[in-house]
A and B are shown apart, each in its own frame.
Chain A
């Protein structure tokens, strides 16, 4: 028995809140408060005399040489600090077993001893409450752990991050999800639905008023619990699992980048389209074409020397041709003579014909044009001459 006023205890808790919180955190981490640690914490802030009061108010108890907070205070601090230990799914599942067992016994003994039936309904209600609270606490704890992991406040290594994320998913979140999943036939949520259905029937048709009212209370409690569980399950599906998935993805991506940065020039990177400069649909086509043409503007003339030998150029040697003409006199058709003479010297060109025509103006030659205005044709490589028939003789006797 504590012979103190409850208000004094609460005042003490309030005055020395920081110290009791430190004791709570120590116990949470080490499962016990070591004697030395207890002394250090109690001596903080000149809190002399606190030790005695902690025992007087039965806040702390001695465990061999060490200490621990009594459960009621431990749970109080756990609750007000939101520092819940995440419960293993097995710890939560035990409520499922006790709920199932109590429900089975209620159904079997529905017409037996009424007092036992009342006690069983009360016990079932207690278990449902504990189960619901355990799920709620776990949700809060898992969300806080996951958010902390995501924010990476402790700056942990990405590999450890992925390990922790996998740990939370595999050992806590997925099994708890199974417990809450209404679509899973073995889930506790499903069992609660069955109990709710049963309580609903009994609250309406049970003959004993007291038991009827207990079923009524249980039914209301189960409606509330099912709503809470549904909301908690929604948080699991919509927030916790995606959050964990994201942590895993982020860590995976970082692993990939680190792998890539080890040797960035030896790993094939994603394909990116290589644009074609000559693509006709490109907006740059006009400028590219312009640039191309400008490359060849203002270019100096270039000469190419041909290696093959050019044919010897024909040169009009007047005296040679004059001699040839003199030797051929008299000539009845001068242009026929020109054609025959030049054909022996390669192709017949205009230049050659015209050059030979100059011989007609030599003084020692006498020229007679055909009186009947007859003409003849001479074909050169690029022209056709229609010329008169001219007779050439030596001038004089």
Chain B
């Protein structure tokens, strides 16, 4: 029996199973888009994973989550957004359209008032740790390196930004319920 699969099947499965976000600019995204139903069924029936396909990126999730990495990224992004806003920079524009130098990021974290949080997190506590986290995010396609010391965020950043938005909305709802 011959096994039929979409083009780039191996790359698609390998990338997603390695926890990577597949971005719209990648060659296998179009194939993924065309066969999104196939991959939804494929990942669910083969491994019990959820395949999530969005406008400009796709990824998979399973009940077992990489909790530490997710939390480290959230802390990193939360502090970065906060510090950018403090400097009067539109953080959403900067994350969406701009790029960052490693030196600039170090500066924001050095001047941050979240000292305890930074010192107690092994992934952001110093320069080397932050570089390691940035490297990990690069392997997951959350960040892309533009040069040796510059990087920008990919569309996958929205997973985390949406999380923050949802958190704020839930908080507003619970405060309203309390008031009533």
Contact = CB atoms under 8 A, between A and B. Distances in A.
Interface of A: 150-153, 155, 158, 246, 249-250, 252-261, 264-265, 267, 269-276, 279, 281-283
A246 B91 CA distance: 11
Contact of A269 (B10, B74, B140): B74
B17 interface: yes
14 contacts: A249-B92, A250-B85, A253-B161, A254-B81, A254-B164, A256-B171, A257-B82, A257-B164, A259-B171, A264-B74, A264-B75, A269-B74, A274-B62, A283-B18
Nearest to B167: A256
The 3 closest A-B pairs by CB, nearest first: A256-B164, A256-B168, A257-B78
A271 B60 CA distance: 9
A165 to B, nearest CB: 13
Contacts of A253: 81, 91-92, 161, 164-165, 168
Q: Which one of A254, A270, A276 has the greatest number of beta carbons of chain B within 10 Å?
A: A270
Q: Which one of A151, A246, A255, A283 has the greatest number of beta carbons of chain B within 10 Å?
A: A255
B117 A261 contact: yes
A25 B146 CA distance: 47
Given A256-B164, A257-B77, A269-B71, A264 B92 contact: no
Given A252-B169, A253-B165, A256-B168, A261 B64 contact: no
Interface in B114-173: 114, 117, 140, 159-169, 171
Interface residues of B, number: 47
B168 A255 contact: yes
Contacts of B18: 275, 282-283
A264 B67 contact: no
A52 to B, nearest CB: 45
Contact of A273 (B16, B71, B164): B16
A271 B70 contact: yes
A115 B85 CA distance: 63
B66 A274 contact: yes
Q: Which one of B10, B64, B163, B169 has the greatest number of beta carbons of chain A within 10 Å?
A: B163
A272 B19 contact: yes
Contacts of A254: 81-82, 85, 91, 164
A326 B91 CA distance: 110
Contacts of B105: none
A55 B104 CA distance: 56
Given A150-B90, A253-B161, A267 B167 contact: yes
Contact of A250 (B13, B78, B91, B159): B91
Given A256-B168, A273-B59, A279 B88 contact: no
Contact of A283 (B14, B61, B62, B74): B14
A244 to B, nearest CB: 13
B165 A249 contact: yes
A246 B71 contact: no
A256 B10 CA distance: 38
Given A261-B75, A269-B71, A271-B70, A155 B88 contact: yes
